[in-house]
Every structure is written in C-alpha cells, then in structure tokens.
C-alpha cells in the first residue's frame, strides 16, 4: 500500500490528538472508579472467574480458507451420555471480545437446561481469543458469516440450531443469512435467531463516533479508512487511545463492577491491534439490511440496553420492525453495550424464551442437512 505525505500527516495529527484524548478518557475512568469505591459499593462480580469457559470441552473448526477457530462445547442432558442433541445453541461474540463474554449465559443455561438434550457451542472469531490470526483481507462481515456456517456444519450436523450473536457477532449472523439463506428456510437447520446489542447498518450513523459523540473514534475511523497499516504500526498509541473508549462505553452509567470492567478490558487488550483496526473498518462499511427478511423466516429476539452508546437502541428497534409476528424486543433499562454481562439474567431469560418459541415452530427433525445442500 502506498501512502502519500498528506495521508501520513493526517494520520499523525489524528493519532497525536487521539493519544491525548485517550489519556483523558483513561484518567476519567480511573476517577469514576475511585469515587465508586469511596462510596463503599460492593462489586457483585468480585469472585467471578471470567475464564472458566475455556475449561469446557475443547475442539477446533476449520474455516473454508483453512484457519482454525477455537471452540468450546457444553453437552447437556442425555447429550452428555452420547445422545443426539435435540437442539444446538451457538453463541457468537462481539468486536474485540471473545467467547468469555458469554460467561453468565453459559453457567445459567447449563443449570436451566440440565435435563434437556441440548448442546451449547461457543467459539472465538478469527483473530480473536484462541483462534488463528486473521489475514487482513479476511476481516469482513461476509467472512465471519462463512465462519459461522463452518461452525454449524462441524458442531450441529444433525438437529436444529438457534443462533445468538452479540454486537459484531449479530452482524456475523446477518452475513450468514445473506450468504447462506438456505439455512433459514423450512428445510434448513436454523430454528431461531437472537440479536443482542447489534445493528443491521448505520453503525457510524448512530453508534461508534456518532452515538459516543467522541472525537477519538472519529479520528480512528478516518485514520483506518485512509491508512490502516500506519494505524497498525502505531500499536502503542492506538491501544492507549482506543481501549479506554471501548471499555468506558461497555456499560451503563450506574453499573458498578471493577471485575467485569477489567474482564472486558483484558479481552480488548488481548485482541491483536491488526484485528481491531481491520474489523473497525468492516464495521464502518457494514450494511446487512437485505439479510433481515431471511432471518424473519424464523423466530427472533432482539435485545438492547437503552444506554448502549456503541449500537444504540434505535438500531434494535429498526431491526425488530423488519421481523415477523414471532419476534420479541427486550429493552434493558440502564444497560450499556455489554448487556449480557451487565444484566445477565435478563439476557439468559430472553434466550430461553427464544429457544422455547423455536421448538414450538419446528418442523419434523432433519438429519445431515448439510449433505443435502449444494455449496
């Protein structure tokens, strides 16, 4: 890639300002945390280990282009003894996160469905968590949709599937629907879709820079679009500026849990800066509105916090309006973007309700669906 002097100057000016603003954001976050501690609040998640999901049964799924995705599987009821799953629920995490962001849903659903023949599947996106690094040109929503299709083929070759995606994970499910619409038909395996704190389009119209009202994100959007490799090269500056913004925007204004905040911060810190920069560019061009009528063929649930500054509530309302009668909109009062960590029980209950509705709507069981579909 050739970068002219004007691009370099623009990028350098952007990151210089961004670095200063990032320091201000970090300092502000520290002051807020200190004030909350002085107030004597108790962290409800103080004893939570957000890494326990990696102790579950491990495997890998090979993507169509040969990468290995890290997968964890939880078999419940008779499935743990070798029975065929009645239904598989696949969870897809968000931008710069990892499967550990579903920590509470994994624990709560294992208890809720202890006697159900269900399988829970969690995986890390390419370039995230324990999965293989993502080549720059594969950091697209379309590619993530193809990756989800590969996970479905590998982990749910029989029975039905309910898909639940958070943030970029929800966008991945839309990419899946657009590129693999046959999976959502009467003869396909997908029986329901949950979209949590996500958007079908307009992430930069209402969300990120606009929703945050933050010049840090605006500067990065411009820099990423003009000279992504230069942004990647300035790893230290990029991290120092962007991470505090993402962490600060993760939760609602009244939520208190230093442990949860550190868990999110660690996920972001452990995501390669190349991955963050490349997928930030993908989010800016994201538009999967044509996927909504495909998803509307199955029961759906849309969940969003009303204080989400990354994918504001209006995005969820817009998607919900495109779905059919068998759809639910769950608005979580006071919650931010990491709603599944901030109000985990409400999100878990929404998933339970989605699965119950999906089971009612199911046709006769199908086997080896993928062998009957020409790819």
Domains of the chain: 5-44+209-282 (no CATH), 52-204+288-363 (3.40.50.1820)
What tokens appear for 345 in the block? Answer: 């029980």
How far is the C-alpha of 77 from the C-alpha of 40, rounded, in Å? 42
Task: Provide the token pair at 56.
Answer: 């579950």
Nearest C-alpha neighbor of 47 from the set 107, 121, 127: 107
Cα–Cα distance, 257 to 164 (Å, whole number): 25
Are the beta carbons of 354 and 235 closer than 8 angstroms? no
Q: Please give, one letter per residue, the 3-state secondary structure of the chain.
A: CCCCHHHHHHHHHHHHHHHHHHHHHHHHHHHHHHHHHHCCCCCCCCCCCCCHHHHCEEEEEECCCCCEEEEEEEECHHHHHCCCCCEEEEEECCCCCCHHHHHHHHHHHHHHCCCCCEEEEEECCCCCCCCCCCCHHHCCHHHHHHHHHHHHHHHCCECEEEEEEECHHHHHHHHHHHHCHHHHCCCCCEEEEEEECCCCECCCCCCCHHHHCCHHHHHHHHHHHHCHHHHHHCHHHHHHHHHHHHHHCCCCCCCCCHHHHHHHHHHHHCCCHHHHHHHHHHHHCCECHHHHHHHCCCCEEEEEECCCCCCCHHHHHHHHHCCCCCEEEEEECCCCCCHHHHCHHHHHHHHHHHHHHHHHHCCCCCECHHHHCCC
Structure tokens at 143: 């590619």
Distance CA 30, CA 154 (A): 44
Distance CA 127, CA 275 (A): 6
Q: Is the dihedral of CA 48, 112, 349, 328 positive or negative?
A: positive
* pTM recorded for the entire structure: 0.85
pLDDT of residue 18: 38
CA distance 66 to 69: 10
Is residue 242 within 8 Å of 216, Cβ to Cβ? yes
Residue with tokens 């919900």: 320
Q: 15-42 as b/e, with b when 16 or more CB fall inside 10 Å?
A: beebbebbeebbeebeeeeeebeeeeee
- Nearest Cα residue to 324 out of 198, 183, 192, 201: 192
Length of the chain counted residue by residue: 375
- Reading the chain (375 residues) residue by residue, the pLDDT tens digits are 444 444 443 443 344 333 333 333 443 444 344 334 545 789 999 999 999 999 999 999 999 999 999 999 999 999 999 999 999 999 999 999 999 999 999 999 999 999 999 999 999 999 999 999 999 899 999 999 999 999 999 999 999 999 999 999 999 999 999 999 999 998 899 999 999 999 998 665 655 555 444 555 556 656 655 655 655 555 555 566 666 777 878 999 999 999 999 999 999 989 988 898 888 878 878 899 999 999 999 999 999 999 998 899 999 999 999 998 999 999 999 999 999 999 999 999 999 999 999 999 886 444 444 434 433
Residue 33: what pLDDT? 45
Q: Which of 160, 71, 101 is nearest to 357 (CA)?
A: 160
- pLDDT at position 361 is 83
């Amino acid at each position: 890639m050739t970068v002219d002097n004007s691009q370099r100057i623009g990028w350098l000016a952007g990151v210089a300002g961004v670095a200063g603003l990032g320091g201000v954001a970090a300092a502000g976050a520290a002051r807020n945390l200190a004030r909350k501690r002085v107030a004597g609040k108790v962290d409800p998640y103080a004893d939570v280990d957000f890494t326990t999901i990696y102790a579950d049964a491990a495997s890998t799924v090979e993507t169509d282009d040969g990468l290995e995705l890290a997968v964890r599987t939880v078999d419940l009821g008779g499935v743990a003894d070798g029975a065929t799953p009645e239904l598989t629920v696949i969870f897809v995490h968000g931008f710069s996160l990892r499967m550990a962001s579903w920590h509470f849903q994994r624990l709560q659903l294992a208890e809720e469905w202890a006697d159900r023949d269900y399988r829970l599947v969690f995986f890390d996106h390419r370039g995230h968590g324990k999965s293989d690094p993502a080549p720059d040109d594969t950091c697209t929503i379309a590619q993530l949709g193809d990756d989800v299709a590969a996970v479905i083929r590998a982990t749910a070759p029989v029975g039905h599937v309910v898909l639940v995606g958070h943030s970029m994970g929800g966008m991945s499910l839309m990419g899946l629907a657009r590129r693999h619409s046959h999976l959502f038909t009467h003869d396909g395996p997908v029986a329901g879709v949950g979209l949590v704190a996500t958007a079908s389009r307009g992430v930069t119209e209402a969300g990120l820079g606009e929703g945050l009202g933050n010049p840090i994100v605006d500067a990065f959007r411009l820099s990423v679009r003009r000279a992504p490799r230069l942004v990647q090269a300035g790893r230290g500056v990029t991290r120092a500026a962007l991470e505090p913004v993402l962490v600060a925007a993760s939760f609602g204004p009244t939520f208190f849990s230093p442990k949860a905040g550190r868990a999110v911060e660690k996920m972001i810190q452990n995501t390669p800066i190349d991955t963050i920069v490349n997928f930030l560019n993908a989010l800016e061009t994201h538009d999967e509105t044509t996927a909504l009528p495909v998803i509307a063929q199955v029961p759906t649930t849309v969940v969003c916090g009303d204080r989400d500054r990354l994918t504001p509530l209006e995005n969820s309302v817009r998607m919900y309006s495109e779905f059919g009668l068998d759809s639910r909109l769950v608005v979580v009062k006071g919650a931010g973007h990491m709603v599944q960590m901030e109000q985990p029980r409400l999100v878990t209950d929404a998933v339970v309700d989605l699965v119950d509705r999906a089971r009612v709507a199911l046709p006769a069981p199908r086997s080896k669906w993928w062998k009957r579909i020409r790819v």
